[in-house]
């Protein structure tokens, strides 16, 4: 006889109901199925009204993030066998407004990414003429920021962050890690511009170093580490400013 298990899915359709509910579905248990396979099965075979996001099904696009039994996960990389035979509860990512069922509103996250200017900034007059070719970078210089460039914008780190979930003004883990991706790039000169956001009241000092963002990151970006490094460099900046009136040299 085919093994089955239960998937409990958060339902919210604002055009039809005021309050969210949960709906439980019986699904076949297959050892090689991930949670996303099970939701796709429900959508195709049982209830076509369930709404959710996904695309690549291989942990690359970052769109299938959901809370699985209260923990932020990429549902395309989380196997049913980790939970069988228990019931699995699937909810939208914590901390974000819900648009419909498992679909969250991403606007706040996208605006935060944009706010830290995630591109190479060169000071005026310091851009290389095109005919001089590309900016050469050594493997060691690449290694400085490569880890922070692996982010897939899945937002699991925001859903895991107790600061962001309580206060969404916090710039947040992925955006700060992305800022560090450029700050540590040998071709970039835009750190001062990013500092206005990173060292603001809503920036790095809001982080209480719980570290859950790094625990749930599916790409080992370590946003918590990126934030602590930004705290150290911002503190060094502050000391340099403080010492200037006493005639110490700013490096
Ligand atoms: Fe693309 Fe899961 S569907 S990361």
DSSP 3-state of 8: strand
**CA nearest neighbour of 148 among 193, 122, 116:** 116
Q: How confident is the model at residue 1 (pLDDT cuts 50, 70, 90)?
A: confident
Cβ(99)–Cβ(92) under 8 Å? no
Can you give the pLDDT at residue 248?
54
Closest ligand 1 atom to Cα of 62: 4
1 forms bridges with which residues in the sheet? none
Q: Please report the DSSP string for 46-83 in residue order.
A: I-TT-------SSSSS---EEEETTEEEEGGG-BGGGT
How close is the Cα of 154 to the center of ligand 1, in Å? 8
Q: What is the pLDDT of residues 168-187, one digit of tens each?
A: 999 999 999 999 999 999 99
Q: Measured in whole angstroms, how far is the alpha carbon of residue 80 from the centre of its chain?
A: 23
> What number of other Cβ atoms are within 10 A of residue 17's Cβ?
10
**CA nearest neighbour of 38 among 73, 85, 90, 1:** 90
Cβ(61)–Cβ(152) under 8 Å? yes
Q: Please report the DSSP string for 116-128 in residue order.
A: T--S----TT-SP
Q: How confident is the model at residue 240 (pLDDT cuts 50, 70, 90)?
A: confident
How close is the Cα of 156 to the center of ligand 1, in Å? 12
Q: What is the pLDDT of residues 56-115, one digit of tens each?
A: 999 999 999 999 999 999 999 999 999 999 999 999 999 999 999 999 999 999 999 999
Q: How confident is the model at residue 239 (pLDDT cuts 50, 70, 90)?
A: confident
pLDDT at 246 over 70: no
pLDDT at 154 over 90: yes
What residues flank ligand 1, with Cβ below 6 Å? 54-57, 59-64, 74, 76
Closest ligand 1 atom to Cα of 65: 2
pLDDT at 251 over 60: no
Greater confidence (127 vs 31) lies with 31
Q: Tell the residue nearest (CA) to atom 3 of ligand 1.
A: 57
Closest ligand 1 atom to Cα of 53: 3
Residue position matching structure tokens 């696009």? 61
pLDDT at 137 over 80: yes
pTM of the complete model? 0.93
Can you give the pLDDT at residue 242?
81
User: What is the pLDDT averaged over residues 140-167?
Assistant: 97
pLDDT at 54 over 70: yes
Can you give the pLDDT at residue 247?
59
- By percentage, how much of the chain surpasses pLDDT 70? 97
Measured CA to CA in angstroms, residue 219 lies from 80, 118, 165, 238 at distances of 21, 19, 21, 32
């Amino acid at each position: 006889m085919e093994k089955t298990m239960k998937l409990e899915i958060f339902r919210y359709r604002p055009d039809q109901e005021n309050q969210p509910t949960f709906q439980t579905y019986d699904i076949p248990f297959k050892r090689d199925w991930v949670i996303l396979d099970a939701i796709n099965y429900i959508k195709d075979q049982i209830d076509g009204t369930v709404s959710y996001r996904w695309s690549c099904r291989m942990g690359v696009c970052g769109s299938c993030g959901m809370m699985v039994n209260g923990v932020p996960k990429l549902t395309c990389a989380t196997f049913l066998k980790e939970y069988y035979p228990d019931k699995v509860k699937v909810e939208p990512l914590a901390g974000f407004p819900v648009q419909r069922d498992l679909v969250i509103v991403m606007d706040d996250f996208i605006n935060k990414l944009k706010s830290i200017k995630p591109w190479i900034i060169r000071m005026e007059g310091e851009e290389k003429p095109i005919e001089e070719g590309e900016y050469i970078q050594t493997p060691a210089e690449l290694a400085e920021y490569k880890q922070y460039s692996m982010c897939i914008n899945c937002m699991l780190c925001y859903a895991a962050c107790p600061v962001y979930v309580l206060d969404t003004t916090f710039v947040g883990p992925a955006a700060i890690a992305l800022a560090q991706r450029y700050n540590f790039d040998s071709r970039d000169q835009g750190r001062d511009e990013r500092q206005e956001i990173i060292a603001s009241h809503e920036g790095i000092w809001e982080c209480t170093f719980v570290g859950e963002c790094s625990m749930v990151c599916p790409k080992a970006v370590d946003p918590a580490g990126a934030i602590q490094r930004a705290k150290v460099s911002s503190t060094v900046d502050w000391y340099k400013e403080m010492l200037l009136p006493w005639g110490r040299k700013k490096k």
